[in-house]
Structures are given as structure tokens and as C-alpha cells.
Chains A and B, each alone.
Chain A
Amino acid sequence: MKNLKLKAARAEKDLSQDELAGMVGVARQTIHLIEKGDYNPSINLCIAICRALDKTLDDLFWTE
């Protein structure tokens, strides 16, 4: 399932996938795959992404 919340939060901060990847220390492709829903990140990576985007885990990774 696509993570549109992550994509929207990244766009809100005006960050490219490459820039966000650099901020959290992963490859650009990893961010691309998380947004596509093809990779489930570890909790540490989720937290790093949330900190980089000033969001909570619920905001970005909790599905209703």
C-alpha cells in the first residue's frame, strides 16, 4: 500500500527524495520504495524520517 502521507509530508517540506534520504542516511531508492509501499522500514528509520519531517509516527505510518 502506497504511503501517500509520507510523500505529502516530504512535499510540504519541499524536499526531494534524495534530500530526505541524505537527512536520514539511506539511499534515495529506499525512500522511493517506502513511498511506493514496497519496503517496510525498521522502527529506527521510521523515527529518523519522522524527526526529519517534524511529524509523529502516527502521522506518517499509522494506517486506519
Chain B
Amino acid sequence: MNIAKLIGFLAGVGLALLLCTVAIRRRGITDGSKKTEYDERQKIARGEGYKYGYYTLVIYLCLILMIDMAELKLPCSMTVVAFTGFCISGLVLSGYAIMHDAYWGVNNNAAFIIRVLIALGAINLIYGIVEICKGNMVVNGILQDNVINLEAGILILGIGVMLLIAKNRDAHEESES
């Protein structure tokens, strides 16, 4: 067991939670004035989004299970396998909710959320690209754990771009109505 890696991971998650808490408090979201509230249609859409995200994860895990049963060796660690599943199902859930105007903050904090997501996604993506350029991404035919940054970058930027598309579509609909 790699204790240093585990501590690093937990420290990263802790720091991310701390930053999110500070950002939320600074934006005054905790006082309820900017808290996202969903109407009946949005609640249904979110439920369907979670359903599709869940099915996606189940299908992904079945594939991994079949690969394991066939005793095929994946060219990456279990960390990468788990994070990839998380990213794919997260993208399905977020995509469905965004396209049905039912994503967190989509109606009252969209511009702020889009800016934060694009910045976070770009940081992760740049780090991943730098690692590829350095030749650290694939060592001896094995995909290294730093591919996680690339995946996170794609996930976060993907959500940011979908939010941007949904916001533009919404503005277009509003001007038409």
C-alpha cells in the first residue's frame, strides 16, 4: 500500500473542499439567496440524469469485470480505471442535467460557474499535456496515474462547454419568446 500517495490524494481532496467552501461563502450561496431551487420538471430531469449516469457506470463496471474475467491485463492502474468510470458517468449525469436546464446553479450562477469550470479544466488539461510532452504519461507501455489530470480536465471543460452551449440556447429562446 502506498501511504504517501493516499495521503497526497486525501490532502488534495481536502484542499479542493476547502477552496469550494471558501468560494461558496464568498459568493453568499450559503445564506439561501443564491441556492439553486429546482421546479417539478427540473427535479424529474435530474432524476433521469442520475438514472442514466448510474446505468453508464453499471455498464462500464460490467466491461471491466469481463476484462478481469478474461484475465486481460489493462495497461493502467486501478486508480485510472476507477477515475475513468467516475468521469464517464459524471459527464453523462452533468450533460443530461445541463441540457434539461436542471444543473446546479444553471439559472442563477451560470456565468460564475462557467468561469470557474473553464479555469479548473484548463489547469488540469495543461498539466496533462505538459506530462505528455515530458514523456511521463506512458512508461514501459503502462499508462501512469497522471492521466487523471487529463481526464479531469476533459470532464470539467466538457461540463463548462455544455453549460456555455445551454446558456446561449437559453438566451436565444428568451429573445424569441
Contacts and interface: CB of A to CB of B under 8 A. Distances in A.
B42 interface: yes
A41 B170 contact: no
Contacts of A30: 39-42
Contact of B41 (A33, A35, A44): A33
Given A27-B101, A29-B170, A16 B41 contact: no
- Interface hub of A18, A27, A30, A45 (most chain B Cβ within 10 A): A27
B174 A18 contact: yes
B107 interface: yes
Interface string A14-42: 00111000000111111011010001011
A26 B170 CA distance: 15
The 7 closest A-B CB pairs, nearest first, are A26-B39, A29-B101, A17-B177, A30-B41, A27-B39, A30-B39, A39-B41
Interface of A: 16-18, 25-30, 32-33, 35, 39, 41-42, 44-45
17 contacts: A17-B177, A26-B39, A26-B40, A27-B41, A27-B101, A28-B107, A28-B170, A28-B174, A29-B41, A29-B101, A30-B39, A30-B41, A32-B177, A39-B41, A41-B40, A41-B41, A45-B40
